[in-house]
Amino acid sequence: MTHNLKYHGDDLVAVVWLTNSAVQVRAGEMTWEQAVRAAWAIEAAKADRVVILVAIDDNDDVVRAWRVVGVRNETAVPPGKSRKINRCLFELEEDSALDYLTGPSPWTRRRNPQTTFEVRDLPDVDALLSDNQPPLHGVVRLGDYALVVREDGAAELHIPPGQVVTIRTAS
């Protein structure tokens, strides 16, 4: 399902590294969506502000990004620990506006398998935040094809090896 809703700059993005579960996904034991449905240790106040969830695999590639439409927080003291930890489970929905995030990760892997930051800090975020016309620059991905339009108007079309592209002028 595609959402027409726009995001706000001070909303949060959660980035999760699926280093261990990537092997299971590639083996067909689960999907990327099932892998990200783990209970992530994120403060409840932060988890409630998350509107985008980004999944990064063990090859440091963003494999998917979803719109977060709900969160369930569960706070408990884990076995062997002395303090409460909040674990959140995100309810996800497809949003094709986030497809541009797939590909090499702009975020470096961290010891902690998740982090959060504001939507305004996403790369090429203009289209997600603006209610106006489409952006004048950015990246569009369709499968393995990518069109990159720079701020100076220069454009590059990245075509998968062995594929054919037909170009027609606009009428």
Q: What percent of the chain has pLDDT over 70?
A: 92
Asked whether the predicted pLDDT for residue 150 surpasses 90, the reply is no
Residue pair 15/122 in contact by the 8 Å Cβ criterion: no
Q: Which residue has the higher pLDDT, 18 or 151?
A: 18
Determine the Cα–Cα distance for residues 36 and 55; give it in Å rounded to an integer: 7
Q: With beta carbons less than 8 A apart as the criterion, state whether 14 and 53 touch.
A: yes
User: What are 62-78's pLDDT values in tens digits?
Assistant: 999 999 999 999 999 98
CA distance 97 to 91: 18
Q: What is the pLDDT of residue 170?
A: 63
pLDDT of residue 99: 93
Two tokens, residue 26: 């590639």
**Average pLDDT value for residue range 91-99:** 93
C-alpha 62/C-alpha 55 separation (Å) is: 6
**What is the overall mean pLDDT for the chain?**
87
Residue 36 near residue 90 (C-beta atoms within 8 A): yes
- At residue 130 the predicted structure's pLDDT band, cuts being 50, 70 and 90, is low
Q: What is the model's pLDDT at position 57? A: 94
Residue 116 in this model has a pLDDT that exceeds 70: yes
| 63 neighbors 30 (Cβ within 8 angstroms) | no
pTM for this model (two decimals): 0.72
pLDDT of residue 135: 61
